[in-house]
Amino acid sequence: MEPTSRIIVALDCDKRETAFAVAERLGDECRFYKVGLELLTAAGPDVVKGLVSRGKEVFLDLKLFEIPNSVAGAVRAAGALGVSMVTVHGMGGGTIMSAAVEAARDFPGLRVLALTVVTSMTDADLADVGVGDRMDRQVLRLARLARKSGCHGVIASPQEVAALRSALGPDALIVTPGVALPGESPAEHARPGTPRAAIADGASHVVVGRAVTRAADPAAAFRHVRDSLTS
């Protein structure tokens, strides 16, 4: 996979116009965008349709955690929008993940990814919600359950990539938010890493946000991230 295809730009904004302006400034440099809950709630599904109509791939980061029938319905709706990836929460268990995978079968280009543990959480946060194991063990436990349930891959922090690649094999997608360039603040991410390190450890994709979307020249910032993957 060539470097440009491995970078997903997170459109963490609250207006459709802002999202489209970023995509316009990036032009042909960027092929893949993440639409999360904030933008989807503020702008609705038209923002996804607009990106797809521009020839872009969309990672719809819904983190679905509901009864299986509702999850399946949401996955089918995502598929109908033309998205390439959709997320389901691994903590929902195997039945929910299997329902998502089954619903995606009607959309050959749609891949279901399981969120393991969000990148803002620490071991102490896990303990607060009754998970007594360490972060790395919990991530691997949920990743193995996701594989058993038929998911195409997982979402995890850069710090868990090497262990996940070893556990899941060469074909699984491993998408890593929480990346930051050297010297850049990791913001709210508790388990950060650089894009280059994540790819070297076996990540299939890295998700970058403000470092690109809020740069004075987003296209130049994107190229800087892309070049960092191989330099």
- Tell me how far apart the alpha carbons of residues 151 and 172 are, in angstroms, rounded to a whole number: 9
**What's residue 159's pLDDT?**
93
Residue 119 — φ and ψ, nearest 5°?
A: -70, -10
Q: What pTM does this model have? A: 0.94
Token pair, residue 229, equals 């993957």
Domains of the chain: 3-228 (3.20.20.70)
d(CA 71, CA 63): 10
Amino acid 186: pLDDT: 66
pLDDT at position 192? 78
All residue ranges of the chain with pLDDT < 50 are none
Query: Amino acid identity, residue 206?
Result: V
H helices present in 149-217, as ranges: 161-168, 195-201, 210-213
Which residues are catalytically annotated?
Answer: 63
Residues whose CB is less than 8 angstroms from the CB of residue 23 and which lie 6 or more positions away in sequence, other chains included:
11, 30, 33, 51, 54, 56
Q: In this predicted structure, what is the pLDDT of residue 49?
A: 97
CB-based contact 153:111 (threshold 8 Å): yes
Contact 79, 68 (CB under 8 A): no
User: What is the full DSSP assignment across 71-129?
Assistant: HHHHHHHHHHHT-SEEEEEGGG-HHHHHHHHHHHTT-TT-EEEEE-S-TT--HHHHHHT
Burial 140-154 (b: 16+ CB within 10 A, else e): bebbebbbebebbbb
Phi, then psi, of 111 in degrees rounded to 5? -115, 135
